[in-house]
């Protein structure tokens, strides 16, 4: 049986290198992280599309 995929969806302004979201993305297998074009000035339609 394969491991489940973990999807991390950071909020406004993303998360820094020491944040658990960043650490999990770097260290755990089967982790997908949603990336946005602009973490500071979000556009709803762009964020929803991601």
Contacts 24+ apart (CB under 8 A), 33-38: 33/7, 33/8, 34/7, 34/8, 34/9, 34/10, 36/10
pLDDT in tens, 35-48: 999 999 999 999 89
pLDDT in tens, 1-50: 788 999 999 999 999 999 999 999 999 999 999 999 999 999 999 989 98
Query: pLDDT value at position 50?
Result: 86
């Amino acid at each position: 049986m394969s491991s489940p995929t973990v999807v991390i969806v950071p909020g406004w302004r993303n998360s820094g290198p020491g944040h658990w979201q960043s650490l999990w993305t770097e260290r755990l297998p089967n982790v997908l992280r949603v990336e946005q074009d602009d973490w500071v000035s979000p556009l709803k339609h762009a964020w929803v599309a991601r």
